[in-house]
């Protein structure tokens, strides 16, 4: 598998803009593997027998025009784990975050069909308050060639410096995807926020900072827009001692704020450490049932 590395210029752009576009992150083989795994996962066929932590779209439950989303599908599929828990993605996120290492907080699988609805503009770190260090560095990877009119992800340049807002009212299929973004821009004294669409070939993408405003609009094309995201946090992170996530705090053990690597694996650390189970887990039968 190819090994991706961020350059010094990309690190500088990430800090000044709150994101950086990268033309190639994963190989064509990994793109093909993930597309195949998307079909299975969104049909609720889980290779490991374990459902993702969040199944935010189901075929018989949700409108077909909504953007489909699964979170932590690495627990359901070893092929997904093999790509998205890659040490090169961890190293890039740790380098950008300024951390000694990176743990996965969540992966996100996103599938916006033709005509698919927007995802509201938000700040990721507002959703990470259940941790002691609520900062993320995330890697967003396109699995289809993206276009501005195809509902690709858009980042608002410099918005990581606007301060911290809370969670938005409606993440999935909002009628006004920029409602909270507009309020945050007003509060920051920004007249015309600059929305930058990420236009890349499949396998390319972007890295963004946890407080950078981003979201995506309607898919006006006839092609699907699939993508996968690794939301990483510092390898040193712990649970918050008071704030709770209804989903992710279920992995907190009583009497400790330590995070268990089985649920939040360390995917890269500067001393060479990586959670030990990952190698066997992610290479064993990556495309077949367990």
Q: Can you give the binding site for ligand AKG, defined by CB under 6 A?
A: 108, 110, 119, 124, 138, 140, 153, 214-216, 227, 229
Give the shortest CB-247-to-ligand AKG separation in angstroms: 16
Pick the closer one to ligand AKG by CB: 38 or 281: 38
Q: Residue 143 or 278: which CB sits closer to ligand AKG?
A: 143
Smallest separation (angstroms) from ligand AKG to the CB of 16: 20
CB of 195 to ligand AKG, least distance (A): 12
Phi, psi (deg, nearest 5) at residue 85: -100, 20
User: Going along 91-156, which residue ranges are E strands?
Assistant: 101-112, 119-122, 137-142, 153-156
Rounded to a whole number of angstroms, the minimum distance from the CB of residue 21 to ligand AKG is 13
Rounded to whole angstroms, the Cα distance separating 280 from 132 reads 30
Nearer of residues 124 and 144 to ligand AKG, judged by Cβ: 124
3-class state of residue 186 by DSSP: helix
Quick one: DSSP state of residue 238? Answer: -
Distance, CA of 223 to CA of 150 (rounded, Å): 8
CA dist 197 and 156 (Å) reads 9
Instruction: Between 47 and 216, name the residue whose CB sits nearer to ligand AKG.
Output: 216
Minimum distance between the CB of residue 284 and ligand AKG, rounded to whole angstroms? 28
Determine contact, residues 20/206, Cβ cutoff 8 Å: yes
Output 90 or 215, the one with its CB closest to ligand AKG.
215
Sheet of 153-156: strand order equals 119-122, 214-216, 153-156, 195-197
Q: Give, in order, the Cα–Cα distances in Å from 66 to each of 107, 136, 169, 221, 285.
A: 19, 26, 16, 15, 32
48/56 with CB nearer ligand AKG = 56
**Minimum Å distance from CB 256 to ligand AKG?**
29
């Amino acid at each position: 598998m190819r090994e991706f590395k961020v350059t010094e210029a990309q690190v500088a752009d990430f800090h000044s803009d709150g994101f950086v576009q990268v033309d190639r992150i994963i190989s064509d083989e990994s793109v093909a593997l993930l597309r195949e795994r998307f079909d299975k996962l969104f049909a609720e066929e889980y290779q490991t027998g374990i459902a993702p932590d969040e199944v935010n779209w189901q075929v018989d439950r949700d409108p077909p025009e909504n953007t489909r989303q699964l979170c932590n599908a690495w627990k359901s599929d070893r092929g997904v784990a093999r790509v998205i828990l890659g040490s090169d993605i961890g190293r890039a996120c740790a380098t950008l975050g300024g951390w000694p290492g990176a743990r996965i907080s969540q992966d996100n699988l996103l599938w916006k069909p033709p005509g698919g609805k927007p995802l509201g503009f938000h700040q990721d770190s507002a959703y990470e308050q259940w941790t002691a260090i609520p900062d993320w560095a995330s890697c967003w990877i396109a699995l289809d060639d993206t276009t501005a009119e195809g509902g690709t992800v858009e980042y608002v340049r410099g918005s990581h410096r606007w301060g911290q807002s809370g969670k938005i009212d409606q993440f999935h299929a909002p009628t006004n995807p920029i409602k909270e973004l507009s309020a945050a821009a007003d509060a920051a004294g920004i007249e015309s926020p600059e929305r930058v669409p990420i236009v890349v070939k499949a396998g390319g993408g972007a890295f963004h900072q946890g407080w950078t405003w981003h979201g995506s609009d309607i898919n006006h094309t006839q092609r699907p827009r699939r993508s996968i995201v690794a939301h990483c946090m510092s390898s040193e992170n712990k649970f918050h001692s008071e704030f709770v996530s209804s989903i992710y705090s279920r992995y907190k053990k009583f009497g400790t704020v330590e995070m268990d690597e089985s649920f939040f694996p360390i995917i890269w650390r500067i001393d060479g450490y990586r959670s030990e189970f990952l190698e066997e887990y992610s290479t064993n039968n990556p495309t077949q049932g367990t």
